[in-house]
Structure 1
Amino acid sequence: MKLLRRGDRTGGVSLDERLAALAEAAELADGRLDAGAVARARAVVAQAGARRNLSVSHTAVALAGATGSGKSSLFNLLAGAPLAEVGVTRPTTSTAQAALWDGRGAGPLLDWLEIPHRHEVDGAGAPGGTAGGADLSGLVLLDLPDHDSIERAHRLEVDRLAGLVDLLVWVLDPQKYADAAVHDLYLAPLARHRDVTVVVLNQIDRLSPAAAERCLADLGRLLEADGLAGVPVLGVSARTGAGVGELRALLDSRVAGRRSWADRLAADAETAADDLDRASGAPDAAVPAGAPEEGVDVLAAPLAAALSQAAGVPGVVRAVAKAHRHRSVAATGWPVTRWIRRLRPDPLRRLRLGAGSGETGPDGGPGELVGRTSIPAASVVQRSQMDTALRETAAAASAGLPEPWAAAVRRAARSHADDLEDALDRAVATTSLGASRRPLWWRAAGAAQWLVLAAAVAGALWLLGLAALDYLHLPEPPVPTAGELPWPTLLLLGGLLLGVVLALLSRVAAWLGGRRRARKAARALRASVERVGRELVLEPVAGELARHRRFTEALATARSGA
């Protein structure tokens, strides 16, 4: 059931929202921050869920104190009956017991607190009018064992219940109110619990009024040093009843308010959030500006440059230019000698590149599918450069982060390091290099080469025919001329000369085309390598940065009442 009330909101953020934020922060911190801090945060969320499902009409108030502080006497006085055994020099309270003012419906709460001894108290309070007219209906008053007991089980019981009750009343005495043990172990850790903590200086009847004022002032100073400035400090005497009326009135106001349970849970959430923040190494850290993706975008270019070297991209780019020139010569060279060029290995096919991703092969047919390329494996130097790039990327991305989160970013940057080399090879293998497309000028130049070859052959055959007629002393037919040059000779020499010129021009065009295709291939390969870098390096890094951002925002929500 939903138990939020109007009073459960602090600074516009509900208790539900703060606890949900604490649970989210613990989940985000899991595996990254101290396991103990994460476990404590989760325990607070679980404890809050359990307490909110119990009676909120009852307020569990615990009297805690050292041996001889008189807390059991004060408990009896408030209850109006000798419920607790009183001792002076040794612990007499071994297990917690409860006094109930209108305890109807408080059973599940006491079961959760594991309180075996329960006493119903008349709402009128103690005999003799010490109730002062206060209506304590709904109060569940607990008398805890002594926190300095020689019995370890007693101390553990105090620690357990001090972490569960709705309101803590620490009973001190003039002799030991400045004891470092109670301040360091119990009071100082309650700095976030100012709204659910009350401090009572008992036995003031043993002091003169001036001495009592000095002790109360000194106690207030110590509490301020503990971070508990503003906590109510009351001087009482369980023997004479002095100040007890004020204590009962304070308890009456807290019980009537019916919100101590919510204040306690809110304080627990803030304390657990503080623990997580300290574990992160950056108390009160601000949320970084900008989205995580924006922060890593600037790292894509330098990372891609380093990965390109490791993937052998420069060699592939050179192979693209050489392959284009090789194929151009094979397609546009002198037809008589083209077969010689075809005997040479194709630079890209030797690397098992350029025929994948739907491209056509150099002969115009469908390209073969590729698995792993034949690009030489990354050298020791290239692997070192890649490792350096990963380290620098992680360092740049985690700049300004507290160390636990910076370490998480570094782990994220290297989370796919073992797969990186294979992924780069696949990216290069599947990138469309555009090197197998046959330019239209190849077809035109090839046709022109065959045409001039045909002209040269025709001229040669014509001249051979004329020579044969002369050898057989047969009459020679008239030979047309172009100026002074006979046409057979013109066809032969012109065909040979034009073939050489076409071959030279084709080589120049092939060189220029190779450079152009190499640039295009470089851009395509760079984009593929950058995509791998984003998927295997930058996206995990961005995810970790986003996780830290959500963690910081969740902490801010959980601590919104601070």
Structure 2
Amino acid sequence: MKILPRRDTPLDDRLEALAEAVTAAGDRLPEPEVSAARAVVERAGARRGLSLDHTVVALAGATGSGKSSLFNLLAGTELAEVGVTRPTTGAAQAAVWRPDGSGPLLDWLGVPRRHALAPPPEGLVLLDLPDHDSIDLGHHLEVDRLVTLADLIVWVVDPQKYADAALHERYLRRLARHREVTLVVLNQIDRLAPAAVARCIADLRRLLDQDGLPGVPVLGVSARTGAGVEALRAVLEERVARRRSWAARLAADAATAADALASCAAGPPPKIREGDLTAALAEAAGVPVVVEAVAKAHRHRSVAATGWPVTRGLRRLRPDPLRRLHLVPGPSRSSLPAPSQVQRSRVDTAIRNLAESATAGLPEPWAAAVRRAARAGTDDLEDALDRAVTTTALSASARPRWWRVAGAAQWAALAALVAGALWLTALFALDYLRLPEPPTPTAGETPWPTVLLLGGAAAGVLIALLCRLVARIAARRRARRTARALRAAIREVAETLVLAPVRAELDRYATFTRALERAR
């Protein structure tokens, strides 16, 4: 919704803030309040595009209040039919001082009966409205419509009905934000003694204070004798000369609409308490199973990579704990066990608890939107968790470089053992065949062939034992790193499918509340 045109920066800010609040509210607040605020924004745009040099003043009152008589007196001619005991104003009519440029404005007001008058006060558009207490429903609707559109409202009351509940409850109390564009005229003061006039005006001010309209000007006039009319005319001329009533009216409308929206809100947005959501998702995704499999797989692969080369093949015949879970990338799911009913129930409970914490104090339609957002991605949750676990587990299966060193050392030990065995076999064969035995080098008192044989065997066993010890320590460390990585991956899934949609709704609510503060 765009406000046209920019002529008053504070008013523009207020109306644009109201438009922002309406956009943010969408269907999350009761339709009557949102529609009323949207209508204010649209009405403001329309009024801003029409003549700002004219001030629309509406005379509103009950049957017999003398409203039409006052209209004629201010106009200086008999324009309206005057009645006392029955409504005589069936449709609004306008008296226009300086009618140039007022046509589109009156068309927008929907007032076909127009009377052009000579200034002063130049720029005044004075409307005589139907009686607000008329038995004709159409008169009621016409008054309600034009009271909403007029720049300045003059309520004409008389000593008998100034305390009428219909006037105060249906109109005045709803205009508490419109003090700057409201006047109250007590007509027919010629029928009262001066002291009675003072008492009536004082009581009328008391009622206006109760209506939330303190400080609203109350003028005593007599349309029959003309008493007080010049003072009323002076007030109207002053308001018309300032040409600010239209802006004050639109600002009051925006504040009233913002108040109505604020009554549906509940203060600042609450904070999300994630609680045990990540833990519940991790359990449902099989993270404990994967962490254990990572540790076992690391030990299994370490033995296969650093164990005695002759027996490595036997180790490879055993199933790999990670491969057994089919943790491979692809469109198909892994072989991790599906979440149990208890685990699914725990996830549902965690999401529900998160939504409840995020909706504490929110108006129910908005709270329902947050709850829907929290569950919007639950259908994709299991597959997303499986992909996250698979990807993280695969990154945890990298082969450490020390395996190659240890494996090379094992092959070297095996080579020494084989060399020693072959050397001893050759010496045994020479001795068996009674052939001259070549000189055999020694390491101290021990022949080198024996050193190679026994040293290679001992080195292989020692390397294997050390590698198993290191593998156990490394497996625990890798399991801890994998657990942290898996929890981070699970949190990312929770953020994408649960927390981000909830935060988006809460951010929208925060935008709404900030815009309301500006509009109010």
TM over 0.5: yes
Q: 2:258 aligns with which of 246, 255, 273?
A: 273
1:388 maps to: 349
- The answer on whether the counterparts of 1:433 and 1:521 sit within 8 Å (CA) in structure 2 is no
2:54 maps to: 58
CA distance in 2, matches of 1:556, 1:549: 11
Deviation of 1:164 after TM superposition, in Å, equals: 0.3
CA distance in 2, matches of 1:51, 1:276: 22
1:330 maps to: 304
Over residues 341-376 of structure 1, what are the superposed CA-to-partner deviations in whole Å (9 max), with x where a residue is unaligned? Answer: 1112211122233x65xxxxxxxxxxxx57532222
2:295 maps to: 321
Establish whether residue 100 from structure 1 lines up as the match of residue 100 from structure 2: no
DSSP 3-state at the match of 1:505: helix
- The answer on whether the counterparts of 2:275 and 2:350 sit within 8 Å (CA) in structure 1 is no
CA distance in 1, matches of 2:396, 2:501: 34
CA distance in 2, matches of 1:376, 1:101: 85
Deviation of 1:155 after TM superposition, in Å, equals: 0.6
Deviation of 1:27 after TM superposition, in Å, equals: 0.4
Q: 1:311 aligns with which of 278, 285, 288?
A: 285
Deviation of 1:191 after TM superposition, in Å, equals: 0.5
Residue correspondence of structure 1 range 23-422 to structure 2 within 5 A: 23-123=19-119, 135-280=120-265, 282=266, 285=267, 303-353=277-327, 371-399=332-360, 401=362, 404-422=365-383
CA distance in 2, matches of 1:222, 1:300: 52
Deviation of 1:489 after TM superposition, in Å, equals: 5.7
Over residues 247-302 of structure 1, what are the superposed CA-to-partner deviations in whole Å (9 max), with x where a residue is unaligned? Answer: 1111111111111111111111111111111121x3xx4x57xxx9xx66xx5685
Q: 2:408 aligns with which of 441, 447, 453?
A: 447
- The answer on whether the counterparts of 1:323 and 1:435 sit within 8 Å (CA) in structure 2 is no
Which 10-residue stretch deviates more, 13-22 or 442-451? Answer: 442-451
CA distance in 2, matches of 1:544, 1:136: 52
CA distance in 2, matches of 1:433, 1:507: 22
CA distance in 1, matches of 2:508, 2:93: 46
CA distance in 1, matches of 2:6, 2:414: 96
Which 10-residue stretch deviates more, 382-391 or 182-191? Answer: 382-391
Over residues 400-436 of structure 1, what are the superposed CA-to-partner deviations in whole Å (9 max), with x where a residue is unaligned? Answer: 6555544443333333222222222222222365443
- The answer on whether the counterparts of 1:17 and 1:557 sit within 8 Å (CA) in structure 2 is yes
TM-score, normalising length: structure 2: 0.91
Which 10-residue stretch deviates more, 224-233 or 489-498? Answer: 489-498
- The answer on whether the counterparts of 2:4 and 2:45 sit within 8 Å (CA) in structure 1 is no
Deviation of 1:466 after TM superposition, in Å, equals: 6.4
Over residues 514-550 of structure 1, what are the superposed CA-to-partner deviations in whole Å (9 max), with x where a residue is unaligned? Answer: 1122122222222222222222233323323322222
Over residues 62-96 of structure 1, what are the superposed CA-to-partner deviations in whole Å (9 max), with x where a residue is unaligned? Answer: 11111122211221222222222222222221111
Q: Specify the code of the residue in structure 2 equivalent to 1:391.
A: R
Deviation of 1:490 after TM superposition, in Å, equals: 5.5
CA distance in 2, matches of 1:190, 1:436: 72
Which 10-residue stretch deviates more, 240-249 or 175-184? Answer: 240-249
1:128 maps to: none
- The answer on whether the counterparts of 1:25 and 1:554 sit within 8 Å (CA) in structure 2 is yes
In structure 2, do the counterparts of structure 1 residues 479 and 382 end up closer, same or farther at CA, with 3 Å as the change threshold? farther
CA distance in 2, matches of 1:476, 1:91: 147
DSSP 3-state at the match of 2:310: coil
In structure 2, do the counterparts of structure 1 residues 318 and 45 end up closer, same or farther at CA, with 3 Å as the change threshold? same
Deviation of 1:162 after TM superposition, in Å, equals: 0.7
Over residues 431-461 of structure 1, what are the superposed CA-to-partner deviations in whole Å (9 max), with x where a residue is unaligned? Answer: 3654433223322322333333344445555
Deviation of 1:467 after TM superposition, in Å, equals: 6.4
DSSP 3-state at the match of 1:61: strand
CA RMSD in angstroms comes to 2.7
TM-score, normalising length: structure 1: 0.84
1:126 maps to: none
CA distance in 2, matches of 1:328, 1:76: 105
Over residues 6-37 of structure 1, what are the superposed CA-to-partner deviations in whole Å (9 max), with x where a residue is unaligned? Answer: xx5xxxx6111111111111101112211221
Q: Specify the code of the residue in structure 2 equivalent to 1:210.
A: A
CA distance in 2, matches of 1:446, 1:149: 103
CA distance in 1, matches of 2:318, 2:324: 10
In structure 2, do the counterparts of structure 1 residues 266 and 23 end up closer, same or farther at CA, with 3 Å as the change threshold? same
- The answer on whether the counterparts of 2:294 and 2:397 sit within 8 Å (CA) in structure 1 is no
Q: Specify the code of the residue in structure 1 equivalent to 2:142.
A: E
CA distance in 1, matches of 2:363, 2:284: 31
- The answer on whether the counterparts of 2:25 and 2:512 sit within 8 Å (CA) in structure 1 is yes
CA distance in 2, matches of 1:426, 1:113: 63
Q: Specify the code of the residue in structure 1 equivalent to 2:246.
A: W
In structure 2, do the counterparts of structure 1 residues 301 and 459 end up closer, same or farther at CA, with 3 Å as the change threshold? farther
- The answer on whether the counterparts of 1:301 and 1:530 sit within 8 Å (CA) in structure 2 is no
Gap runs ≥5 in structure 1: 124-134, 357-368
In structure 2, do the counterparts of structure 1 residues 186 and 334 end up closer, same or farther at CA, with 3 Å as the change threshold? same
CA distance in 2, matches of 1:257, 1:452: 104
Q: Specify the code of the residue in structure 1 equivalent to 2:123.
A: G
- The answer on whether the counterparts of 2:430 and 2:437 sit within 8 Å (CA) in structure 1 is no
Q: Specify the code of the residue in structure 2 equivalent to 1:523.
A: R
- The answer on whether the counterparts of 1:4 and 1:15 sit within 8 Å (CA) in structure 2 is no
CA distance in 2, matches of 1:15, 1:34: 26
Over residues 294-347 of structure 1, what are the superposed CA-to-partner deviations in whole Å (9 max), with x where a residue is unaligned? Answer: x66xx5685433332222222211111111111111112222222221112211
1:504 maps to: 465
In structure 2, do the counterparts of structure 1 residues 524 and 243 end up closer, same or farther at CA, with 3 Å as the change threshold? same
Q: Specify the code of the residue in structure 2 equivalent to 1:436.
A: S
Q: Specify the code of the residue in structure 2 equivalent to 1:270.
A: A
DSSP 3-state at the match of 2:263: helix
- The answer on whether the counterparts of 2:24 and 2:508 sit within 8 Å (CA) in structure 1 is yes
Q: Specify the code of the residue in structure 2 equivalent to 1:257.
A: R
Q: Specify the code of the residue in structure 1 equivalent to 2:283.
A: Q
Q: Specify the code of the residue in structure 2 equivalent to 1:141.
A: L
DSSP 3-state at the match of 2:236: helix
Which 10-residue stretch deviates more, 544-553 or 269-278? Answer: 544-553
Gap runs ≥5 in structure 2: none
DSSP 3-state at the match of 1:238: coil
DSSP 3-state at the match of 1:60: strand
CA distance in 1, matches of 2:6, 2:460: 93
Identical columns (%): 67
- The answer on whether the counterparts of 1:300 and 1:534 sit within 8 Å (CA) in structure 2 is no
1:537 maps to: 498
Deviation of 1:45 after TM superposition, in Å, equals: 0.8
